[in-house]
Structure 1
Amino acid sequence: MLSNIELKKIIKNMTIEEKIGQINQPHFGWQIWFKENNEIYLTNEFKDFIKKFGGVGSIYGVLRTDPWTKKNFENSFINENEQRIVINKIKEYVIQNTRLKIPPLFSEEVTHGILTLFSNVLPTNISIGSSFDKEKFKIVLKYLRKELISKGINLALFSGLDIPKDKRWGRTEECFGEDPFLAAIFNNLLVKTIQKDNNVSVCLKHFVAYGSSEEGKNGLNSIIGNNELKEIHIKPALGAIKAGVDFMMVAYNEIDGIPCIVNKELLTNLLRKKLKYKGALMADGFAIDAMTGYICKNDYESASMALNAGVDISLWDKSFINLEQAINKNLIKMSQLDESVHRILSIKNKLGLFDKNKNYNVFEFDKFKENYKKNIIELAASASVVLKNENSLLPIKNPDKIKKVLLISRNDYDIYDQLGDYTSFQNKTESILDGVLKFFKNQNICIEQSNFNVKNDFIKKYDLVIVISGDSSKRNFDAEFLENGALKTSKIKTMTSGEGVDEIDLNLRIEEKYFFENVKHDKIITILTLAKPRIITDVVNKSKSILNIGYPGNYGNELIFKLLEGSLEPSGRLNHTFPIRENLNSLTYNNKNVKDYKYFNNDSEILFEFGYGLGYGEPTKIKILSLDLNKAYISIKNNTNINKVETLLIFGKKEFCLPTPRKSELVDFKKIRLKPFEEKKITVKFNNVFEKYNDLNSSIWIFNGINKIKVK
C-alpha cells in the first residue's frame, strides 16, 4: 500500500489527460468487449480512450446482463469463469498499455444482488427493511462480499440513501422503508460488511432527498426545508458515513430549484465540511451532461459546475472528459482536479490496486452457494409479514381436510415477477406460483389454476382459494429505455414498479382490484408481492389470511413452500404506513400531525400502521423488569410449543422542543429467536446516535407488531 506522499507524487507527475482519465467512468462496460470464435476481444473505441487518457477511473457494467444491455445467456457469458476472464483481460490491458499502470475500478449494480448472470437475487430493500433483522442481513452480506470478490468486482453500487415521500414513486422498492433510522442502521451494516478487508468499495445512492420528488415523479424537484432535510433525508447517509463508505452517488433531483449535481452548499459545505464525509462523490448516469442546454451553455461549463460543487467522478458523461477546456478558461483550478484524482487514487490504493501481487479472485464461490441460498431464504422469511390470519389458517396444519384448491394469479406470472427491478436473467424458472403448486401436490391435494377473470359460481366449488397478487418490476426485451437505463415505454404493460415506473395511484392492477371487490368465498389466502404500500382494503375484507412476501429473491418458490408448511415463520413488520383509500400517497408514521388532523370528508386514513405484523401463533409475552433514564431491561417469553421469531420495535416521542417534535420516531429494533417455551432477558435502549430520549419530557414504548407496551 502506498503512502499519501507517494500518491501525491504520482498525481504531481501525471499529465492533465491522465488526471482526467482517472475521474471518468465513460463506458457502457458490456460494450467494450466481444467474443469471436470463443475468444475475448476489446473494442478499438475502448483502446483509443485508454491510449488518449493513459487509463480510466472506473468501468461500469462489464458484467451487466438485462433487457437494457440486451445481454443474456445466448450472447454473453457461458459461465462464471468467463466473467473473471473478461474482467482480468480488461485490467491487464490497461496495466500493460499505460505509462502509470493504474488498474481501473470495476463497478456493478448490486441493488439486490449482482446484476449479472449466475448470481443470486436477494430480497429487495423494501423487503430487507421489513425484516428488521440485522443478524440475518449481515450473514447474507458476507456471502455477497465473497461473490463480488470471486467475480473481480471491486466497486458495488447499492441503493439505500433514499426515503420515499410519495409512495407512488417507482423506486420505493429500492428503499429500506419510510423511517430514516432504519435506513441508517442497514446502511451502516452494509458498508461495514461489504468493505471489510478492503477488497470491495461500496457506492451508496442517492444523495440526497431523491425520494422526496414532487408527486412521486422520478428526479423532479424536492421542496423541503432544512430541518426536514436533516431529520429525514440526511440520516440514512450518516449511517454510511459513520461506517466509512468509500463512494456516494449524487441524486438526479433538485432541492428547492438547485440540482444536487451542481449544489456546492449541499455537497461540499454540508456533506464534506459539516458531516465530515471523506469518500468520493460519483455522478449518476448522464447527470452532468443533462445540465448542458438546461442551466449551462456547453459541456465544459457543466463539467466545471459539477466539479466545483464537489463531484469527483462521472458516470457516462461526455462533458467530464472536456475538463481541460474548463481549466484553460479558468473555470476550475488544477488543484481542484488534483483533489478529485487524489480521492479516486486513495480508494484504489486502499483496495490494493497498486499492489502487483494481490490476488483479486480470492474465493472459489461454489462451496459457499448452498449456505448462501439457505440464508437468503431465511432472510426472505424474516421479511415476510402476516397481515391477517383468522382462525390461524396459516400455516396449513391439516392439509388432509382440504380436497380441492384453486390457485389464482396473472396468466403471465413467472419468476421475474418476484425479483424486482435491476435484475439479471435467471437460469432457474420456478416461481412463487410453482412453490404453491408443489406444496399441495406433495399432499396429494387437487389444485387447479385460474386467472382474475374467474367467476364466483366457479370459485365456490373449491375448499380453499389461494390468490397471488401484487407488483411486478419485470422488464422485457421489447421495452424502450432512456439513455440511463430507466424504462421509457413498453408494449407489454407488465411493470407496476421500478425506475421510471411512477404510477398515478396506489391501487392494485385493474383486474386484481375488480376481483377483490367482487369475489365471494369464505376461505381465501392471499399472497401479496408488494413493492410499495398499496391500497388493499378490499383484500383485507375478502381474505381470511394475508401474507405479504414482497420481492423475496430467486428462491421465492422454496420460501412460500416453507411458509405454507410452517417450517419457517414470517416474522416481518411493515416498514411503511398503508393507506386505507386513494389519494393518501404520502402517509408516514413519523409525521408532525401530532393533533391527528384529518380531511373533513374522511374519518380514517390508515389501514395498517408502521411496524404492524402478526407472525404465526400466539404473540410473545413481554414484561418490564427494570428501568432507568437510558434503557429498560425486559423479559420476552415464547408460550408456544413451536420456534418463535419476535420482532420488537422501540419508539420514542419528544415533547416541548424545537424543531417541533414528530408523532414518534424509531429508536431501536431487535429480532429475537426463541425456542418453544423459552424466555430471554434483553436490554432496549432509549438513545441512538441521532436522538436522545432520556429526559423527562420523552415517552418510550415497545411495539411487537400487535400490542404497544408503554415503558415510560
Structure 2
Amino acid sequence: MLWFSSDGTPRRTATRDGARMVSCSLFNFPSASQKTSSGEEIVVTMLQFWLAAVYSAAALVSAVSADDSYDAQAKAIVDTFSHAQLIGQMTQINIGAVIDSETGGLNETAVRENAKLFVGSYLNTDWSEPYEGKYGNNASEFREMIGRIQKISMSVTGGQPIIYGLDSVHGANYVDGSVLTPQQINAGASFNPDLLYEAGRMTARDTLAAGIPWIFGPILDISQNKLWARTYETYGESTYLSTVMGVALIRGIQSQNQTAACAKHFIGYSKTATGHDRTNVLMSDFELLNNHMPPHLAAINDANVLTIMENYISLNNEPVIANKKILVDLLRGDLKFNGALVSDYNEVMNLNMWHRVADDYEDATISSLTQTSLDLSMMDGTTTMPGTSVVNEFSFINAGLKLLKEQPDQEARIRQSVERIIKTKLKLGLYTNPLPGAELVSMVGNEKDKELALEMARESIVLLQNDDNVLPLSKKSSVFLTGPSADDVGYQCGGWTKFWQGVSGNDMFPNGISIRKGLGNLVGSNSFSYFNGLFINGSISNANLTKTVDLAGRHEFTIAAIGEETYAEKPGDIDNLALPKGFEEFIEALAATGTKVIVVLLEGRPRLLGSIPDNAVAVIDAMLPCELGGQAIAEILYGDVNPSGKLPISYPKDPANVDIPYNHLVTTRCAFDYCEMQWDFGAGLSYTNFSYSNVTLDKTSITNVHDTLTATVTVTNEGSRAGKEVVMLFLIQPIRRISVPEMKNLKKFEKIELKAGESKKVSFTLSYDDWSVYKGEIGAGLPKIVESTAYVVGIGADTDCNVYGDPSIKNGLCADFTIDASGAPAS
C-alpha cells in the first residue's frame, strides 16, 4: 500500500489481505508533527462547497450557537431536504463497503455513488488483520481517508458533512499509536470515576485526532450472567456502579466539545438466560426499570449524552429494533431523550436475517421505521452477515424511499429523525470544520497517557487470596514465571483491541508491557526464571510439562499467569464457565513440587477455577488491564503498589450460580439458603488492614419521603503502610410489597486513601431516589413508590446485616431506620 506523505512523496505502509493499495492525496494533511494550518486549509476547501449550496451560511452554520438554537438550525436545513436526502442521512455505511477489494485502497467511485444517495455516515476501521508489520491506521492516516470521504461527499451533496463513528471502547483502540486503557470491567473494579473521566478525555482526544467525532461507548449494560462474552465490556453487576462510571466516561468523552458519546445498549441486552450473546431476554418491566434503566437515565439527565444505540436482542420475544414500547414509549417518552438513536450493527436487516420476524430487508426496514424512533441504521443491507450469501443493495434506502412514497403520513416522523442527526452534526461543529482534531495529532500516545493507563490498571487489579500474607514478594525472592498469559500483551487486552476479536502476542503493542517485561523492569530479567509450554487452551506436551515442573521445583515461588484467549461478542460464546481442565492440572502439578504458586488471572469473565485456589497461596484477578497491565501486576506482586481493586461482579464457585448477582432476589436460594461464591461482589484485599466503626445515622425515622438521611462511618488504617479503600454503603428493604426485594443494593461508595494509623469519617447522604422504586409502568412517566416500612443500611461489602435472622444478633456496621410514606403524594 502506498500512502502519500504531507510533502507529496509516497511511503510504503501495510495493506489488508495481501492486497496492494495506491492512494492519492486530494490535499495536504497535517502530519503528527505539523501545525494545524494545513488542516485549516482543508476545512476552508470543504466549507466552500457548502457555502456554494442552497443554504444560507449565516443562518445555518453557527457551531457555537446557544443549545436552544440547534433545533431551529437543524429544522431549517432539513426543511429543504428531498425524500432521498432524508433517507440518505439515516444511512450509515461500513467503511469496508468503500474499500477496493483488489487494491485495499479507498474506492472513490463508491464514495461518490454513496454521496449521490446522500449517505450521511460511515463507521469502523477497514483493518481486520495485521499486514507487513502494520496493524491499522494511525491518526494521520485516518484523517487522510476520512478527509477524502468528506470532500467527495460534500462536493456532491451541496455541503452536507458525513459523521464518522468508531468503537473506541478502551482508549482509541483502533487508532494505531494511541495508548490503550484497561477494559470497562477493570474501570468498574477501580471504583474510581475520576480516573475514568480522564480516560474519557484521552479517548475522545485520540479519536478526534483521527478526524472521528463519534464514539460508540460506553456500554451501560448490567452484567447478569458470567458466561456472557461481553461481561468484560460492562462495569459489572451493580446498577449504581454502572451509573456512576457511565456518567464519568460520557462527561470525559464529551468534554472535548467536538466529540459525541453513544450510550449502549438500550436496553436489557445483558440479561441472557443462556449466557449466549444475542438471545431472547425475558424480563418484567419492574426489573427493566429498576435494574437496567438507571444508567441510561443518568446518561441523559446527568451527562447529556448526545447519542444512544439500541441492541441485538428480542425482549420478551419482540426485537428491540422494532419495539415501540422500548424505543418510543420508554426512550422518547419516559426518558425524554431527544438525541440521535442508532441501531446496532446490521440490526434493522436482522429482523429478517436473525429474528425472522420480517419477510425481507424491505419489510424489516419499514417495520423498524414505522414502529420505533430509530434515526440511523448502522449498515444499509449491502453487506451480509457471515455465513449468508444474501445481497440486496441499498435495502434500507430503497425501502425508506418506498415508505415515504406509499405512506406520506410517515414523512413528519422521518424528518424528525433527520433533524436529530443534523442537530448532532451541528453540535459537533461539522458544518464549520468537517475534519476536526488536526491540532491533536501530535498528542496521541504521549507519556502522560501511559501514566493514566498504568494508574487505571494499578487501581483495578484485585488481590483475592493471600495466604499467610505471602505477598508482597521480596525482590530477592526466588521466582519462576510461567503460563500462556505471562508474556502476551494481547491476552492482557482482550477483544476490541486493534481488531474486533482482539489479537495475541506483543508485536502490535509498542506501548505494551507484559508480566514478564514488568517483572524485568522491577527486579531485572536475570532475577527470575521464565518458561512456558502451556497453550491458552490448557494443553501442554509431556516434555514441556516436565520442564515446567522441574523449574518450579527449583524456586520458592511460581507465578502462573493463566486465563482466556481474546474474543468479542457472539464468537466468544461458551457453554461452560470452567477454565480448561488443563489449567487445573497444570497448577496442581506445580503445587506438588512444593513451590508456592501465585495465580494471576487474565480474563474477561470470572471463569470457574475448580481446585486452583486450593493449590495456590495467592490469587490475583487482573481481568483485562491491557497494555500497561504487566507493569501494574509486577508492581503489586512486589509491593511497589498496594492493591485497591474490588470485584465489580460476584465470582462464582460452581455452575449453579453463574447467573446469580450480588443483589439477587431473596427467593433466589441454593442449598442451605446461601449461594456460595468463590469471592463475593466487592471482595479485594490490601497489604494493609482497614477497620470500620461507629456507624451512625442522623435520623432513624423519616416522615417526609423527600427528606434526606446521612450515614457516617469511621474508617481506620490499622496496618503499617498507606492504602486505598473503597467504602461501600448498601441499602436493604427486608419487606417490600410491590415486588420481592433484593438481598441488598449498592447505593453509595467512596474510594479513600489513608496513611498508616490514619482514621477518617466517611459520610453518605441517602434520599428519595435511593429508597424509592419504579412501579414498572413503561409509558407512564416513570412513576415511583416509597413504602412505609423498615430499612437497613449496611456499610462494607462483606457486612451481613442478618435482616432475616435472630433480631437479638446485631452487627455494628448496620443501622435501621423507618419511613412513613402515608402522607406522600402519588408519584
The partner residue of 1:19 within 82, 86, 92 is 86
Equivalents in 1 of 2:798, 2:514: separation in Å? Answer: 25
Equivalents in 1 of 2:469, 2:486: separation in Å? Answer: 31
Summarize the alignment of residues 168-183 of structure 1 with structure 2, pairs less than 5 Å apart.
168-183=227-242
Q: Corresponding residue for 1:488?
A: none
Q: Corresponding residue for 2:376?
A: 313
Secondary structure at 1:334's aligned position in 2?
Answer: helix
Q: Corresponding residue for 1:46?
A: 111
Give yes or no for the alignment of 1:533 onto 2:596.
no
Q: Corresponding residue for 2:415?
A: 338
Q: Read off the aligned partner of 1:530 and give its amino acid letter.
A: E
Q: Read off the aligned partner of 1:283 and give its amino acid letter.
A: S
Give yes or no for the alignment of 1:353 onto 2:430.
yes
Secondary structure at 1:631's aligned position in 2?
Answer: strand
Q: Read off the aligned partner of 2:404 and give its amino acid letter.
A: I
Q: Corresponding residue for 1:486?
A: none
Secondary structure at 1:296's aligned position in 2?
Answer: coil
- Structure with max Cα Rg: 2
Equivalents in 1 of 2:362, 2:557: separation in Å? Answer: 65
Secondary structure at 1:224's aligned position in 2?
Answer: coil
The partner residue of 1:697 within 790, 802, 815 is 790
Query: Matched residue pairs, number?
Result: 676
Following superposition, the deviation at residue 691 of structure 1 comes to 3.9
* Contact 1:646 1:704 (C-alpha < 8 Å) held by counterparts: no
Tell me the alpha carbon deviations over residues 473-525 of structure 1, each in whole angstroms, 9 at most, x when there is no partner. Answer: 1xxxxxxxxxxxxxxxxxxxxx5x65421111111123112223554235111
* Contact 2:136 2:498 (C-alpha < 8 Å) held by counterparts: no
Tell me the alpha carbon deviations over residues 519-574 of structure 1, each in whole angstroms, 9 at most, x when there is no partner. Answer: 42351111111211221242221111111111001112221222223222221111
Secondary structure at 1:666's aligned position in 2?
Answer: strand
Q: Read off the aligned partner of 1:252 and give its amino acid letter.
A: Y
Tell me the alpha carbon deviations over residues 636-692 of structure 1, each in whole angstroms, 9 at most, x when there is no partner. Answer: 233344321111111110133222211000101111122343333332233474545
Equivalents in 1 of 2:639, 2:787: separation in Å? Answer: 41
* Contact 2:515 2:631 (C-alpha < 8 Å) held by counterparts: no
Q: Read off the aligned partner of 1:304 and give its amino acid letter.
A: I
Q: CA RMSD in A?
A: 2.9
Equivalents in 2 of 1:195, 1:386: separation in Å? Answer: 33
* Contact 1:415 1:429 (C-alpha < 8 Å) held by counterparts: no
The partner residue of 2:573 within 502, 508, 524 is 502
* Contact 1:176 1:182 (C-alpha < 8 Å) held by counterparts: yes
Q: Corresponding residue for 1:193?
A: 252
TM-aligned CA distance change 1:173 to 1:346, over 3 Å: same
* Contact 2:309 2:343 (C-alpha < 8 Å) held by counterparts: yes
Q: Read off the aligned partner of 1:205 and give its amino acid letter.
A: K
TM-aligned CA distance change 1:259 to 1:707, over 3 Å: closer
Q: TM-score scaled by structure 1?
A: 0.88
The partner residue of 2:638 within 557, 565, 571 is 565
TM-aligned CA distance change 1:6 to 1:277, over 3 Å: closer
The partner residue of 1:399 within 475, 482, 497 is 475
* Contact 2:235 2:648 (C-alpha < 8 Å) held by counterparts: yes
TM-aligned CA distance change 1:355 to 1:689, over 3 Å: farther
Equivalents in 1 of 2:299, 2:433: separation in Å? Answer: 30
Equivalents in 2 of 1:239, 1:72: separation in Å? Answer: 45
Equivalents in 2 of 1:126, 1:169: separation in Å? Answer: 13
Q: Corresponding residue for 1:438?
A: 520
Q: TM-score scaled by structure 2?
A: 0.76
TM-aligned CA distance change 1:412 to 1:370, over 3 Å: closer
Give yes or no for the alignment of 1:58 onto 2:121.
yes
Equivalents in 2 of 1:116, 1:346: separation in Å? Answer: 27
Summarize the alignment of residues 153-172 of structure 1 with structure 2, pairs less than 5 Å apart.
153-172=212-231
Following superposition, the deviation at residue 695 of structure 1 comes to 7.5
Q: Corresponding residue for 2:584?
A: 513
TM-aligned CA distance change 1:636 to 1:92, over 3 Å: same
Q: Corresponding residue for 1:428?
A: 510
**Structure 2 regions of 5+ residues with no counterpart?**
1-61, 382-394, 500-507, 535-539, 701-708, 773-785, 802-812, 817-827
Equivalents in 1 of 2:756, 2:97: separation in Å? Answer: 52
Give yes or no for the alignment of 1:295 onto 2:357.
yes
| Aligned sequence identity (%) | 24
Q: Read off the aligned partner of 2:266 and give its amino acid letter.
A: F
TM-aligned CA distance change 1:695 to 1:516, over 3 Å: farther
Following superposition, the deviation at residue 360 of structure 1 comes to 3.7
TM-aligned CA distance change 1:76 to 1:443, over 3 Å: closer
Equivalents in 2 of 1:569, 1:442: separation in Å? Answer: 21
Following superposition, the deviation at residue 250 of structure 1 comes to 1.0
Equivalents in 2 of 1:98, 1:142: separation in Å? Answer: 32
Equivalents in 2 of 1:430, 1:195: separation in Å? Answer: 27
Secondary structure at 2:458's aligned position in 1?
Answer: helix
Equivalents in 2 of 1:331, 1:538: separation in Å? Answer: 66
Higher mean C-alpha displacement, 346-355 vs 427-436: 427-436
Following superposition, the deviation at residue 429 of structure 1 comes to 7.5
**Structure 1 regions of 5+ residues with no counterpart?**
474-494
TM-aligned CA distance change 1:332 to 1:676, over 3 Å: farther
Following superposition, the deviation at residue 197 of structure 1 comes to 4.7
Following superposition, the deviation at residue 233 of structure 1 comes to 1.8
Summarize the alignment of residues 380-419 of structure 1 with structure 2, pairs less than 5 Å apart.
380-396=457-473, 398-400=474-476, 402-403=477-478, 405-410=479-484, 414-419=488-493
Secondary structure at 2:247's aligned position in 1?
Answer: helix
Tell me the alpha carbon deviations over residues 84-115 of structure 1, each in whole angstroms, 9 at most, x when there is no partner. Answer: 2222232222223322x121111001121222
TM-aligned CA distance change 1:690 to 1:682, over 3 Å: closer
Q: Corresponding residue for 1:637?
A: 716
Give yes or no for the alignment of 1:652 onto 2:731.
yes
* Contact 1:156 1:202 (C-alpha < 8 Å) held by counterparts: yes
Equivalents in 2 of 1:273, 1:136: separation in Å? Answer: 33
Q: Corresponding residue for 1:490?
A: none
Q: Read off the aligned partner of 2:162 and give its amino acid letter.
A: P
Q: Corresponding residue for 1:109?
A: 167
Higher mean C-alpha displacement, 11-20 vs 680-689: 680-689
Secondary structure at 1:423's aligned position in 2?
Answer: coil
Equivalents in 2 of 1:603, 1:663: separation in Å? Answer: 11
Following superposition, the deviation at residue 288 of structure 1 comes to 0.8
Tell me the alpha carbon deviations over residues 295-322 of structure 1, each in whole angstroms, 9 at most, x when there is no partner. Answer: 2223232112111211110111223212
* Contact 2:170 2:203 (C-alpha < 8 Å) held by counterparts: no
* Contact 2:143 2:435 (C-alpha < 8 Å) held by counterparts: no
Q: Corresponding residue for 1:481?
A: none
Following superposition, the deviation at residue 457 of structure 1 comes to 6.0
TM-aligned CA distance change 1:128 to 1:10, over 3 Å: same
Q: Read off the aligned partner of 1:288 and give its amino acid letter.
A: V
Following superposition, the deviation at residue 41 of structure 1 comes to 5.1
